[in-house]
Amino acid sequence: MSPTHLRRPTRGLAALLLVSVAFAAPTAPTSAQVPAVRPAAALTDAEISRIDAAFVRFGNASPGAALAVVRDGEIVYEAGYGLANLEYGVPITPASTFHVASVSKQFAAMAVVLLALEGRVDLDASIREYVPEVPDFGPTITVRHLLNHTSGMRDQWSLLSMAGWRGQDIKTQDDVLWLISRQRDLNFEPGAEYLYSNSGFTLMAILVERVTGQPMKDFARERIFEPLGMTSTHFHDDMGHIVPGRTYAYSPTGGGFRINIPFFANYGATSLFTNVRDLARWANNLESKTVGGEAGIAMLLERGVLNSGEAIGYALGIQHGAYRGLTTVGHSGSDAGYRAEFRTYPDQRTAIIVLSNVSNGNPGGLARAVADVVLEDAFPPAPEQQGGGGGGDTEREPDPPPPTLSEAQLREFVGTYHSVELDVDYVVALEGGRLFLQRRKFGDRELEPEAEDTFDAGSTYRFVRDATGSVVGFEVTSGRVRNLRFERR
């Protein structure tokens, strides 16, 4: 399938911004709108062919992706590949709207930054000053901790799953806040580590509403999206909200595809709907500083610092990184079947944005493939491989074999366990000489022995005994949730 709009840019981003200032909605371009004079920064035919080749797997019967390449403030190439909707055969164009998952976070952070610039929010104050439902864990969790993912707060998606929410259950702001308010422990002391947690950014949306008296989606529209001409962008908290030009998301299965859209009615950590053109405008704002000014963009891009004094790569909802020796600033996103990559190369005044509506779309890899073309002359030479060295792979001690437990030993763990923090029961049952974890609305999972009193069932379950040796509970650790306690009933 040939890419949709455009094999040449219709006009530079600066021109698009002028149209936005006049409050005229941008029209979707057609292939007939090729300008007579190409911008000086436009790509060559050879570069375009190499870029399109990276997207060739998105055909006329598959989901796909949208692309925008920004150079020196202009969109120098934009294209759509594949279908926005498989049932109706609607093609993806650069105007197609996608859910961009965690790319949302930098916009929630920018809303908080704008309030900080006005003196209405203190980034180094306790989150409890703004959202008192957050428990008092002892050490202070600041707004900055949450924006840097250094708060130690457990992740909302893991908590929701553990508490019994399925992927197809609608999840609201109130659901997330209710779970956060029940937590008794953190993953670690605030500022001690970096561990990604979506919970902090849902709290940012709640904070903005508490401070301003209006939903953050409205604040962001008035203070960020409208000033930048991002007319196709909004935070989405209503599953019934009609979105013009929306793509549906899919996952591959059995040689075909199934619809796989997120069932979210919460936002801040996620739920931004936008397109590649509007994200190009935002990429330019990181340089022009139209929204936020010099101080606001500097605040947004300031790296977090741990208690140890070590700087981390994460700033306020946005990630510093590097690719082939070039500095990058951006973020990726992944929810249900949507995948997103927003990556800028500030020193080269270049941005590459890839949004996909299929779970194996790999927009990060595609964006790097595009960078290999448009930044080919900017990459420093790869370091030469040094010969010699020797030594080979370092040997390590093999993991000890898992314990073999008798049926009598397994029976010690059988029972019903309750989590006050999740308000949910788990049942441990013995069937056919094997131990199983049973949860309402979820299939049984075998608890496989890993070490003494420790089992694996997709997460790690470490059982706890009292002074008499009786099993009285367990602690479960699963990625972004550590040591969540269940007590035996």
Q: How far does the chain reach from its first CA to its final CA, in angstroms?
A: 59
Confidence band of 397 (pLDDT split at 50, 70, 90): confident
Domain boundary among 357, 374, 391: 374
- Mean pLDDT computed over 79-89: 98
CB 82 within 8 A of CB 64: yes
Confidence band of 388 (pLDDT split at 50, 70, 90): low
Together in a domain, 126 and 244: yes
**Domain CATH for 127:** 3.40.710.10
Q: Is 263 exposed, middle or buried (0-12, 13-18, 19+ CB in 10 A)?
A: middle
383/86: higher pLDDT: 86
- Give the pLDDT confidence score for residue 9 in this predicted structure: 40
Together in a domain, 252 and 364: yes
Strand partners, 350: 71, 345
60/106: higher pLDDT: 106
Neighbours of 412 (CB within 10 A): 16
Together in a domain, 211 and 281: yes
Domain count, the chain: 2
CB 329 within 8 A of CB 344: yes
Residues 223-254 have pLDDT tens digits of 999 999 999 999 999 888 999 999 999 999 98
Rama region for 451: left / alpha / beta (φ>0; ψ in -120 to 50; rest):
beta
Together in a domain, 352 and 466: no
Does residue 337 belong to any structural domain of this protein? Answer: yes
- Mean pLDDT computed over 195-215: 98
- Give the pLDDT confidence score for residue 34 in this predicted structure: 32
- Give the pLDDT confidence score for residue 39 in this predicted structure: 53
8/374: higher pLDDT: 374
CA–CA dist 272, 468 (Å, integer): 53
- Mean pLDDT computed over 277-299: 98
Confidence band of 391 (pLDDT split at 50, 70, 90): low
Together in a domain, 123 and 229: yes
Together in a domain, 271 and 337: yes
Instruction: Dig out the tokens for 33 from the structure.
Output: 């709108």
- Mean pLDDT computed over 43-57: 97
Domain boundary among 374, 399, 429: 374
Does residue 457 belong to any structural domain of this protein? Answer: yes
**Domain CATH for 472:** 2.40.128.50
- Give the pLDDT confidence score for residue 93 in this predicted structure: 98
| Res. 134: pLDDT tops 50 | yes
| Res. 25: pLDDT tops 80 | no
- Give the pLDDT confidence score for residue 22 in this predicted structure: 30
| Res. 19: pLDDT tops 60 | no
Share of the chain above pLDDT 70, in %: 89
Together in a domain, 147 and 294: yes
| Res. 6: pLDDT tops 60 | no
Domain boundary among 326, 353, 374: 374
Confidence band of 392 (pLDDT split at 50, 70, 90): low
CA–CA dist 452, 472 (Å, integer): 15
CB 459 within 8 A of CB 486: no
Which structural domain range is residue 414 located in? 407-488
| Res. 5: pLDDT tops 60 | no
Write down the mean pLDDT value for the chain.
91
Share of the chain above pLDDT 90, in %: 84
Phi, psi of 399 (to 5 degrees): -65, 140
| Res. 292: pLDDT tops 70 | yes
Together in a domain, 428 and 346: no
